[in-house]
Chains A and B, each alone.
Chain A
Amino acid sequence: MTDLGATIKRRLLANQWSFLLIVVVLLSIIAGTVNNRYFWPGNISNLLGQISVLSLVACGATILIISGNFDISVGANIGLSSVVMAMLMRSGVFPPLAAFVGVLIAIVCASLIGGAAILFRAPSFIISLAAIGVFQGIALFITQGTIQTIYGQFEFLGGMKIFNVLPLLFIIALLGYGLTHFILTRTQLGRCVYAIGNNQRAAYLAGINVNRQKLIFFALNGLFVGCAAMLLLSRVGAAQPSTGTGIELQAIGSVVIGGAPMSGGKGNVLGTFCGVLLWGVIGNALNMMRVNPYIQDVIIGLLIIFAVAVSSLRLHAEKAMME
């Protein structure tokens, strides 16, 4: 291989996101070769719409994971806040107002988890694990387990496409990425996210009000989750308590695939975006290639393990160099 080739290779492998992008492009080429409808606008548009909700949840997860925290109740939180939105709309509340109330509920739920973790000095992972049951139980109780259909009252967000290709949902997701990127790189708060995640004790000794900042991280996560619930409701046109189930693991997976260590202190939005993209593209590409759905799960699992392995080995090598 020439020197230039080696340089390009090193450049591309230097960042987790560029590695992920290579995988995404390769997958797309294979899928497009097998079935040229993969590149049709309809499919691309569908793909982008699919990953929009996950994108917003992953933005919140990026902030939390970098700061060394977890909220795995976001799926249940989406379930609860979206059924509240739907029920309010069904009872005649002006839809945007109903959506606003739902987002507020999501923020309160997420803040309660953060607050409990701080107050009891307990790992937020476990607190949020327990909260899944609480949120889902409340949602089941108020809906009595029924699906809340809103009969097209709130279609604007979910259905609109710019130039007939670009879903408005995806534009909103991009705004979420932009906001997260801005917070992480351009604000006082962002510096605290990284500092607390890297070394909480040192952050405390440097004068950071660790507890207050952590609460803000959780509330921000709630904001992203609430917006995700709103988009999902608009896209699907109905909500039920199990809406959103499983999205928390996809979101955490995307962040970690994107290069952030589970222990926090590092990571960026670009990595998360590529992680989300990989997640969306694998599923879509396998469908397009008409792979047996049972085998799809196997392949998705193996690809994710591969992506995490690359990310982990890189972090490990970096740590070894530090010693």
Chain B
Amino acid sequence: MDQNTRTEILAIHDLSKNFGDTVALDHVRFNLYAGEVHCLVGENGAGKSTLIKILSGAERADTGRIIAFGQTYSRLSPNQSLALGIATIYQEVELVKSLTVADNIFLGHELKTRFGLVDYLTQNREARALMDSLNITLPETALVQDLTPAQQQILQIVKALHVNARIMIMDEPTSSLGIEETKVLMNIVRQLASQKLGVIYISHYLQEIFEIGDRITVLKDGQVVDTFDVRSTDLRTITKSMIGRERSLFYGRDAVETGAVVLQVHNLSRFGHFENVSFNLHRGEILGFGGVVGAGRTALMNVIFGADRRDTGEIILNGRPLNPDSPRDTIEQGMAMIPEDRKVLGLFDLRSLLENITIVVNETSGPVLDHRRENAAVQEIVKRLHIVAAGIRQMAGFLSGGNQQKVILARWLLSKAQILIFDEPTKGVDIGAKEQIYNLMVQLAKDGKSILMVSSDMPELISLSTRIAVMREGKLVVTLHSKQVTEQELLGYFLGIHDN
């Protein structure tokens, strides 16, 4: 395409957005031409989702301008966004699964007969015609629940086209698809572009992006690093600009001597999530688990902690086989879990700091509470972890993300856990609290405890882990010594670039 004949349909100028103290977007600029696929890449937390949410009207920018089809906006409401023809297709399928393909296409603006009833026949016919015009072969009368994930993604596209979408935003559309299905979807995306739609395409899979994209914009820590033309760049340049960052973000940790093996995992599988995973965890070790979202890391931790069933394999804890019925059993054996989604899986938001912190020891402290001892223990740990709160009676829901994380950590420190599972320990945590949590984790290792840490934060993974186990598509592909690996190499393992 010639530079001069392209029509710019969307331009973003100096868009900024803060969430409290966290900068989500920092003077972002971005533009989109009709008929191009513009890919957006960046690590988790780089600001991609926030940008999409602002374009779809779900979030409001603090400052900046959006120019769509010649009109300037300082913010878009969901309705404005829809009226402009901006359609977002999320990785979570948003369809009514118990209705047919045609019903879903016409959902909310059904065709009516003379009597005001839904005109299924005409709907089916028009749905067929619409899909034929796109060379899409979905059975219009099939129920959505009977479609494959790929077909469901495609249906979402058709649905968006039916309401005259002119800008299509696709957020990780292939993350749950197989290779063949991905190809089909990518063909459709190319076809959309050939019909003069603008496509904003977000994906973790860089090879896919090189196949499909016209331009690539790299986001990092809320800033645009650069926009590249696909024909004049390569994978190396992109990965480098994705991760290139200041050294200060790396945490300098003290070395800890590791000891004997405390936990052995052999050929552990939970079908559909992960398969044949084996590793050893040593005393004093922080074993990091890296990989892209959906690689099976959290599912693995849930099985080890006893929250989910395994299909095959064994877990040996301190030389004895571990066959837990529930987390209660693993907790008795000295395990702990600090989950990724702390609001849903960890926190009692309506309850006080005190109740949140004592909930695990409560199980072993006898039927009647000793308020004085409890108070003293909680006061001590709140001070030790620098938890900022109005007092130990404050409701935990009112605390900041970092302090909530520390409250959950405090619960396990009080229970004297020996093996701690941290799932994304610093997600949504501000920089100051982040460093304190790192210090604590290293102190735990020094005290002879062992840690399994799932993290999608590269610097965190490299600087905190003793070793890094990389998972990809449910398999543990390699275990690396963190001292010998660079961010770029690690990203290569995550995405499967090194071994082909």
| A residues neighboring B (CB under 8 Å) | 186-192, 194-195, 198-199, 201-209, 265-266, 318, 321-322
Contacts and interface: CB of A to CB of B under 8 A. Distances in A.
Contact of B355 (A189, A191, A208, A318): A191
A322 B398 contact: yes
A212 to B, nearest CB: 10
Contact of B367 (A188, A198, A266, A321): A188
Nearest to B326: A204
Contacts, number: 83
User: What is the predominant secondary structure among interface residues of chain B facing chain A?
Assistant: mixed
B161 interface: no
Nearest to B302: A205
Contacts of B367: 187-189
User: What is the predominant secondary structure among interface residues of chain A facing chain B?
Assistant: helix
B95 to A, nearest CB: 26
Contacts of B348: 194-195, 198-199, 202-203, 265
A202 B340 CA distance: 12
A205 B412 CA distance: 12
Contacts of A266: 350
B408 to A, nearest CB: 9
Contacts of A198: 348-351
3 tightest A-B contacts by CB?
A: A207-B331, A322-B397, A265-B350
**Interface footprint category on B:** 20 to 34
Contact of B368 (A186, A202, A205, A207): A186
B355 A207 contact: no
Interface in B442-461: none
A181 to B, nearest CB: 13
A322 B400 CA distance: 9
B339 A205 contact: yes
Given A194-B348, A208-B328, A266-B350, A203 B359 contact: yes
B411 interface: yes
A14 B362 CA distance: 29
Given A188-B362, A188-B365, A195-B355, A202 B327 contact: no
Contacts of B305: 205
B350 A191 contact: no
B234 interface: no
B346 A191 contact: no
Contacts of B366: 188
B345 interface: yes
A209 B345 CA distance: 16
Most buried by B among A189, A199, A201: A199
A300 to B, nearest CB: 30
A201 B345 contact: yes
A199 B349 contact: yes
A321 B351 contact: no
B360 interface: yes
B358 interface: yes
A206 B326 contact: no
Nearest to B307: A205
